[in-house]
Amino acid sequence: MRGADLINAALPDELLDDVIRRVGAGGGAKRDLDACALVCRRWRRLERASRRSARLAASGERADEVLRLVAERFTALAEVSVNERLTAAASGSGSARRSYRSGMERGPYRAGMIHMPNQIRRRRRLPLASNLTLQISPFPLDQPVSDQGSERSCLTDVGLGHLARGCRGLEKLSLVWCSAISSTGLVRIAENCKKLTSLDLQACFIGDPGLIAIGEGCKLLKKLNLRFVEGTTDEGLIGLVKNCGQSLVSLAVANCQWLTDASLHAVGSHCPNLEIISVESDRVQSVGIISIAKGCPQLKTLKLQCLGAGDDALDAVGSFCPLLEILSLNNFEGFTDRSLTSIAKGCKNLTDLVLNECHLLTDRSLEFVARSCKKLARLKISGCQNMESVALEHIGRWCPGLLELSLIFCPRIQNSAFLEIGRGCSLLRTLFLVDCSRISDSALSHIAQGCKNLTELSIRRGYEVGDRALMSIAENCKSLRELTLQFCERVSDAGLSAIAENCPLHKLNLCGCQLITDSGLTAIARGCPDLVFLDISVLRIISDIALAEIGDGCPKLKEIALSHCPEVTNVGLEHLVRGCLQLESCQMVYCRRITSSGVATIVSGCTRMKKLLVEEWKVSERTRRRAGPVLSFLCTGL
């Protein structure tokens, strides 16, 4: 019978709930779950009960009210992420309400997440309650200094209280740049959300009482992020780890100006199961790192940026942390070869090593690492100016499992180093070379001949790299999918054509390769139909012909950058949008022959556009009204 419901009444709630959960676990889960909610009231009730995660903006006139509605309607939420920066792009014009709503509508959402503005859009008038104003915190030290007379328009402790009472099964909570949150809100979370296992407070101004309350109330806490949390002192972190340190597995502390070695000593004393720790602080000395090493034998990931630490700290890590797998050392002035030698002797399971601005390290330290750490898979060296070719030669000889290699501003490393890498590291899949002035075609030819599994190659400011290197890559590396050649001024159409014939690229960056013409881009368009990202900025001699070919040959293109292309006109944009219907992002500043008509063409032809970067004076009022949320303007007034 037409219109009759012959199946819904026969399905029990348990079965429907299982169906909806399986729908939520699939690909486009957000869209599919929304469709389920529109079937009938029963399906909507069950769908709301199945939602597990939500990502929300924290800005807006009624941010607290939005969070209240979320907590009331989706009581099964286990993961909530709130980010005050989600609406930053929409704050340029219009009222605060329009800025809030447009920002929320543009925010990214993952599987099973909710899009709150769609839920409240039917409610034209939300009730004006007194609790929407910012309440004075009982912990005055929690509040950051703010401009007098400025009105807050973001999430406060009131909204966090609604969340705590409505979603008592909350397991993961992320509060990023929520500037009005204080210890009061965290106390409410600690009182109600006993199952909390992950807490991210990045860039929130939280005081000690909030952290102490979390430690007392959330005994299952495993992950804690305190990056840029300025209001916390040693008292807060010590109070937290004393109460829930046994369960803590991951801890990140960065630029918390009041935390000292005393906090790290407490972590070492009370967190025996800690596996991941990241510390960035000018106040931490070697004694704090030593306490961590001695007290956390399960440590697997260690990321340090501590100007006051020296060799003694890494000596302790090498002696007491045999399970260490990932080590990142950043901006160290007191570390010498002795440090890495200790790591090499004690940490045989090391797989990832990052050395950033460690000026005192030389080739000798990497020799010890290469000989001892045979499992090394990812190596990044940045700004270590005393490293020479011999360092990489050792890696090539002793680390056959290397998968990723990044060299940034290493002026002493020459082509000979890559002969050994090509011979010994046949599994290499990713290679990044930035500001390595002595590396030329010869080095990349060695890589191409020995590393045939290469899938990603990125070269920036490789002034000695030209077509011979690309031809060798094209001949040997058939699996290459991502290629970046920023400001490689010797690369021309010949090398690019060879790549197009042999490597079905998905991402290509040719910014600043000024020898590239329409011919080279035509070859790419015809040889790489699966291209989704293309950067052809600062190619001064390409014209509309190139854009027409891209439009015809790259239907899957989602992102394109063509800034500083003086010969591209509105006609080229028309050809582009006619074929690239999936385009989501476009950057086209300083294109002198593109006018307001071209901007309108992009806006009207690309229905999926999320971000368009242009000069503000090129946007007509009609285009601004039609696509205001996706427009981004260059800060020409600075």
In a domain, 25, yes or no: no
Check residue 628 and give its pLDDT: 80
Strand, helix or coil for residue 355: strand
CATH number at residue 616: 3.80.10.10
pLDDT at position 139 is 43
Residues 517 and 621 grouped into a single domain = yes
- 3-class secondary-structure state, position 237: helix
Instruction: Answer yes or no: is 278 within a domain.
Output: no
CB distance 452 to 473 below 8 Å: no
Looking at the structure, tell me whether residues 609 and 516 fall in a common domain: yes
Residue-range definition of the domain harbouring residue 396? 388-476
The last residue of a domain, from among 476, 492, 520: 476
Whether the pLDDT of residue 31 is over 80: the answer is no
508 within a domain of the structure (yes/no): yes
| Same domain, residue pair 529 and 628 | yes
pLDDT digits 0-9 by tens, 564-582 = 999 999 999 999 999 999 9
| Rounded CA separation 489/461 (Å) | 8
Residue with tokens 């840029």: 228
Same domain, 615 and 521: yes
Report the half-sphere exposure of 335 (CA within 13 A, side-chain side): 29
pLDDT higher at 368 or 637: 368
Nearest CA to 583 out of 630, 634, 537 is that of 630
pLDDT at position 335? 84
Residue 413, in any domain of the structure: yes
Q: Do 457 and 567 belong to one domain?
A: no
Whether 85 and 61 have beta carbons less than 8 Å apart is answered as: no
For the segment 71-91, the average pLDDT, to the nearest whole number, is: 77
Task: For residue 112, tell me if it sits in a domain.
Answer: no
| 432 domain residue, yes or no | yes
- Using 50, 70 and 90 to split pLDDT, how confident is the model at 127? very low
| pLDDT score at 636 | 44
Band (3; pLDDT cuts 50, 70, 90)? low
Give CA–CA dist 158/164, Å, rounded: 10
Rounded Cα distance, 410 and 443, in Å: 14
Residue 63: its pLDDT value, please? Answer: 87
Q: What average pLDDT does range 231-239 have in this prediction?
A: 94
Query: Contact, 553 vs 526, CB < 8 A?
Result: yes
Domain presence at residue 150? no
User: Does residue 545 sit in the same domain as residue 581?
Assistant: yes
| 525 and 580 assigned to the same domain | yes
- The confidence score (pLDDT) of residue 106 equals 34
- Looking at the structure of the chain, the number of domains it has is 2
Q: Which of the residue ranges 121-135, 327-341, 395-409, 437-451 would you say has the lowest mean pLDDT?
A: 121-135
Question: Mean of the pLDDT values across residues 584-601?
Answer: 95
Bridge partners of 490? 466
Both 469 and 522 in one domain: the answer is: no
Is residue 620 located within the same domain as residue 510? yes
Looking at residues 261-283, what average pLDDT do you find? 95
Residues 437 and 395 in one domain: yes
Is residue 564 included in any domain, yes or no?
yes
* Per-residue pLDDT tens over the stretch 18-28: 888 788 776 55
pLDDT above 70: percentage of residues in the chain: 87
Confidence of residue 278 (pLDDT cuts 50, 70, 90): very high
Average pLDDT, integer, range 179-200:
95
Q: Are residues 456 and 545 in the same domain?
A: no
pTM, entire model = 0.84
Return the higher-pLDDT residue of 89 and 292.
292
Residue 293 has pLDDT above 50, yes or no: yes
Query: Taking a C-beta distance cutoff of 8 angstroms, is the pair 573, 601 a contact?
Result: yes
Task: For residue 81, list its beta bridge partners.
Answer: 55, 174
Looking at 452-456, 529-533, 626-630, which range is the least confident one?
Answer: 626-630
Residue 230 has a pLDDT of 84
pLDDT of residue 626: 85
- Quick one: average pLDDT of 239-245? 96
Same domain assignment for residues 462 and 565: no
Average pLDDT of the chain? Answer: 86
